[in-house]
Structure 1
Amino acid sequence: MRPGAANIVQFENVGLRYGSGAETLSDLSFGLEAGAFYFLTGPSGAGKSSLLRLIYLAQRPSRGLIRMFGEDVVTLPRGRMPGFRRRIGTVFQDFRLIPHLSAYENIALPLRVNGVTEADIDTPVREMLEWVGLSGRAYAKPATLSGGEQQRVAIARAVIGRPEILVADEPTGNVDPEMAGRLLYLFEALNKLGTTILVATHDLHLIPRVHHAQTITLDKGRLVTPMAGAH
């Protein structure tokens, strides 16, 4: 951890169980440093997506403590959840685009939710469309976009509001290597502006491309690599 840097996320002895089965995640204790870049790796079924669900507040843990932005989110009142979620950008494997909205409108949505005026929406949305190579598809509906195009819209939507944390689940899984490099560069640019980045990936070739990144590895729901901020 850099001197003076604080953890924006802190897990302490966290476990997650779905129903009455065995724990999906067990005894996770680690911290994510504010402004750092992380890759989350591990074999299929290791628990990567479940860990991301805890961080973007789609799931509460079965046990343990999770602190985000300095507050205990396990006991956070339901009414405060939307405000917390607006501070977190998410890129899902299934994209979760709104089908009746165009690519432009999907990307603009976080800005509208945050109360940005219409006059201040157009320029950043068009810059995002250009960056992800979709300027010519601005008014296309998701059903007419390829999987890779939908993925790029989802990423543009996640980063346009400059979230404090960006959580991405296999964000380069549906794009070619050149576009994967561009998207990784976009994540790095966002990281330089201060956003903490956590990218779950099975593509280990991506990791050396971000020289300052740290790697978290899960196996069978447990942390394999020692992490800064762990107890």
Structure 2
Amino acid sequence: MVSADAGNIVQFDNVGLRYGSGAETLSDLSFSLAAGAFYFLTGPSGAGKSSLLRLIYLAQRPSRGVIRMFGEDVVTLPRQRMPGFRRRIGVVFQDFRLVPHLSAYENIALPLRVNGVAEADIDQPVREMLEWVGLSGRANAKPPTLSGGEQQRVAIARAVIGRPEILVADEPTGNVDPEMAERLLYLFEALNKLGTTILVATHDLHLVPRVPSAQLMRLDKGYIADPTGTLRYPPRRG
């Protein structure tokens, strides 16, 4: 078993992911994410970005290899401990996954309530989040009445309100205009400065230079690139 580096919040060692009996979607991934760092994950469509994120937010177990998060092996983590781990991870999904019968306000408040925050301590942070993402006037609106960009902003506010230890975002600026994209990146940077590790998957390379402190990871054909951008293709098994 690979020993955890105290400076890393995520550590992959020879991780592979296969759906069914087909070829591996991800192969021989070995990398770490430093606690408190900011990363962009890029790569062409079909490279495996969403699959990699699923492994990190614990929606999928790998087919092989070791994944350590918060210093523990999550591949063998007992199922009853998973909810506690997931509460330490903020996720912005590509398809938003808002609760349709709850208002924007209630969707954003949901993580605080799940974590047992007292009702008296919920209103102010939720109102601040709504203002930050430009939705103060839509607090009572339910997701079906919101545009795609508005739903995206609610999803982002919900993901960051609990100040997770790591935030994983799948194309978080894909449904907003450039001005709002800048504002959301600024929100991610502010959260990062408070100590949250940020991993943003995006196909838009124009976003990368807007966060000077960010590191770039690249996926192609299920393999991860080295820092020079040269892809490593280990020998295929079998």
Shorter-chain TM-score tier:
over 0.9
State, as a whole percentage, how many aligned pairs show the same letter. 89
Which residue is equivalent to 2:175?
174
CA deviation vs aligned residue, 1:110-134 (integer Å, no higher than 9, x gap): 0000000000000000000000000
SS at match of 2:90: strand
Give 1:117's aligned residue.
118
2:189 equivalent in structure 1: 188
Aligned positions, number:
224
Higher relative contact order (CA closer than 8 Å, sequence separation 6+): 1
Matching residue of 1:80 = 81
The CA deviation at 1:224 is 1.3
Q: Does 1:90 align with 2:91?
A: yes
- Secondary structure of the equivalent of 2:144? helix
Once residues 145 and 30 of structure 1 are traced to their aligned partners in structure 2, the CA distance between those partners, rounded to angstroms, is 38
Deviations 1:57-107 (A, max 9, x none): 000000000000000000000000000000000000000000000000000
Write the distance in 1 (CA, Å) between the matches of 2:48 and 2:36: 24
State the distance in 2 between where 1:39 and 1:224 align: 13
Q: Within 2, Cα distance between the matches of 1:123 and 1:94?
A: 27
Instruction: Work out whether residues 11 and 67 of structure 2, in 8 Å CA contact, stay in contact via their aligned partners in 1.
Output: yes
Give the ranges of 4+ consecutive aligned residues of structure 1 lying more than 4 Å apart after TM superposition: none
1:198 counterpart SS class = strand
Structural mapping, 1:42-121, within 5 Å: 42-121=43-122
Are 1:5 and 1:33, in contact at CA under 8 Å, matched by a contact in 2? no
Please report how far the alpha carbon of residue 225 of structure 1 lies from its aligned counterpart in structure 2 after TM superposition. 2.4
Q: Which amino acid aligns with 2:148?
A: G
- State the distance in 2 between where 1:173 and 1:203 align: 9
**Counterpart contact for 2:6–2:71, Cα < 8 Å:** no
Query: Matched residues in 1 for 2:6 and 2:140: separation?
Result: 42
RMSD: 1.1
Q: Secondary structure at the match of 1:53?
A: helix
The aligned counterpart of 1:25 is 26
Q: Which runs of 5+ in 2 are unaligned?
A: 229-238
Equivalent position SS for 1:180: helix
8 Å contact 2:15–2:67 — kept in the other structure?
A: yes
